Amino acid sequence: MFRHQGKSRTLKHNLRIATILSFVAGIVNVTGFLAFKQLTTNVTGHFALFINDVSTFEFWKGTIYFLYILSFLFGSFTSSFLIEKFKKNKKLNVFVLPTIIECLIFIVIGILSNFIALKSPDLIVCLLLFAMGLQNSFVTKISNAVVRTTHLTGLFTDLGIDISQLFFPKIYLNRVALKANIKLRTYIILFFFAGGLTGGFFYSKVDLKLNTLIIAAVILLLSLFYDDFRYKLIKVRRKFSQRKDRIIR
């Protein structure tokens, strides 16, 4: 799920990572909005607000939206930089690094919210946008830009295009790939929605507040643990199979 790259990735691999990360993004999106009334998984709205403030010559007011945008950008840069820096290390799954940083951000924010009054909400928003930049960058790289999980605008656009192409079978002959794309995008949208419902339930009804972010971190950590365990199990099976073949020969 986190290890396969390029041509070695299948629809199954993309579905697994897409559902987990879109679910996490949904949790973060709703938690950030309920806590700070700000979008914390994408920068489209922030860019519009920044332009609005600049157009009315309220430059200082618009600075915070510019910082939001830069936070997401820096998260994307950091994720990609770490992946490129360590990708030659065959013993290290480079996609674990940005995921661990993302988890730490969620856990630290959640734990600190129980002990201190968060007097700088803008800083927390920047951290959440940084974390989402990390996630969007590494899932884009690992899937060769097939999977995006932190915002839905492009997904709905691509889904609309794919569905329209179903009506032209003589032009778009690869129906299997087309249906696979529709399935993948539908899963991402549904799990983003499910993550949002989950985040809203735990934030408001269970009254976990920012501790809801810890749930997102736990989901990510469990997925990493599962992926690593499964990878090691496959390696053991291959070694056992190779030894068995040698004995038979």
User: For residue 104, what pLDDT band results from cuts at 50, 70 and 90?
Assistant: very high
pLDDT of residue 152: 86
pLDDT score for 79: 94
Return the pLDDT at 61: 77
The whole-number average pLDDT for the span 67-96 is 87
Q: What is the pLDDT of residue 244?
A: 63
- Contacts of 165 by beta carbon, 8 Å cutoff, 6+ apart: 171, 172, 178
pLDDT at 85: 87
pTM for the full predicted model: 0.90
Determine what percent of the chain is predicted with pLDDT higher than 70: 92
d(CA 15, CA 19): 6
Which tens digits make up the pLDDT trace of 164-178? 999 998 888 889 989
End-to-end CA distance of the chain: 34
C-alpha 184/C-alpha 161 separation (Å) is 14
Which tokens hold the place of 28? 């973060």
Rounded distance, CA 154 to CA 169, Å? 24
- Select from 76, 91, 216 the least CA-distant residue to 138: 76
